[in-house]
Amino acid sequence: MFRPAIKVVDCTIRDGGLTNDSRFPTELVRGVYKAICASGIDYVELGYRNSKKLLSPDEFGPWRFCDEDDLRAATDGIDPNGTKTAVMMDAHKSSVDDVPPCEQSVVDMIRVATYVKDVDKAICLANCGMDNGYELTINIMAISQEGAPFLDEALQQIEEETKVQAVYIVDSYGALYSEEVHFLAEKYKQYIKTKELGVHMHNNQQLAFANTIEGIIKNANYVDGTLFGLGRGAGNCPTELLMGFLKNPKFDIVPVLDAITRFILPLQKDIPWGYHVPYMLTGIRDLHPREAIQWMSSTERDDLVKFYKHLEVDYE
């Protein structure tokens, strides 16, 4: 039933930007932002704020960098209705130089994405963000491939060396099953005593929604979704499904349905996200979806046996 502590983060523009190098037109970003605000969702993530010294603006669109001018163009004149704006900073692709004081920014929350091996960078970036007045989370990516003792040590460091609001389980490869979500939530809680648990799930095996529910059962109070599941490869847990499940009386699903109709469904002409067997195969093998994404863009995309054998040869 309704649990007031749960915060929903809509990542449509940020995670969806991995499908098109973050080249969404401002009109679409503005439309999604307006819909999320009107729906009563807690946070809307409008892209990455990665370093232009580490990533080229010639290769990526504006939502990979989230300059303040671009953010203002997408948000000015729209009533936030209590919704806060977030961006993500990759620990290995970002710089503290790109963190202005919060009072000078559209951004309310920074989500630092990291691999366990980069946790020191993530802690440095998170503490810089905290010092500059932002809300912070740390999102540990590719969690299905991270194990003790390094994960344990990273969690201990985050607990002891930061004051972030939440620490995330991120199923980057869509490889987890519910019992693994259960196990990881228990592991996180062994170390994370003063912060909330968050979950961000990918849908390679049609389990993103189920695994998000499992996280909620295990007291995750930060949960992520995207409109119609838009995201890299198989995509993410659909925001509209979460809204229905959570039963928060403040939610209004109508603006979300309108945004899906007007802005998201038309993207299917060019972006083949969602459940497809190649994404499933990388999910069950606990592999990065990049090879499935490449296969899906090739003339052999429907030769599923050949892709299966390709994975067997390259990863056995």
CATH number at residue 37: 3.20.20.70
Q: 147 with 262, same domain?
A: yes
Q: pLDDT tens for residues 27-45?
A: 999 999 999 999 999 999 9
- How far apart are alpha carbons 69 and 48 in whole angstroms? 14
Q: Residue 157 domain-assigned?
A: yes
Q: Range of 294's domain?
A: 277-315
Q: 281 with 150, same domain?
A: no
Q: Residue 226 domain-assigned?
A: yes
Q: 209 with 247, same domain?
A: yes
Q: What is the pTM of this model?
A: 0.96
Tokens in use for 184? 């990881």
Q: Residue 159 domain-assigned?
A: yes
Q: Residue 190 domain-assigned?
A: yes
Categorise residue 273: left if φ over 0, alpha if ψ from -120 to 50, beta otherwise. Answer: beta
Q: 252 with 172, same domain?
A: yes
Q: 95 with 200, same domain?
A: yes
Q: Residue 309 domain-assigned?
A: yes
Q: 226 with 308, same domain?
A: no
Q: 216 with 283, same domain?
A: no
The pLDDT assigned to 1 comes to: 65
* Angle (nearest 5°) at CA 8 between 6 and 12: 165
Number of domains observed in the structure of the chain:
2
Query: What average pLDDT score do residues 260-273 get?
Result: 96
Q: pLDDT tens for residues 67-116?
A: 999 999 999 999 999 999 999 999 999 999 999 999 999 999 999 999 99
DSSP, residue by residue, 199-241: EEEB-TTS-HHHHHHHHHHTTEEEEEEBGGG-SSTT-B-BHHH
Q: 67 with 98, same domain?
A: yes
Q: Residue 2 domain-assigned?
A: no
The pLDDT assigned to 315 comes to: 64
Q: 251 with 309, same domain?
A: no
Q: 160 with 283, same domain?
A: no
Q: pLDDT tens for residues 178-222?
A: 999 999 999 999 999 999 999 999 999 999 999 999 999 999 999
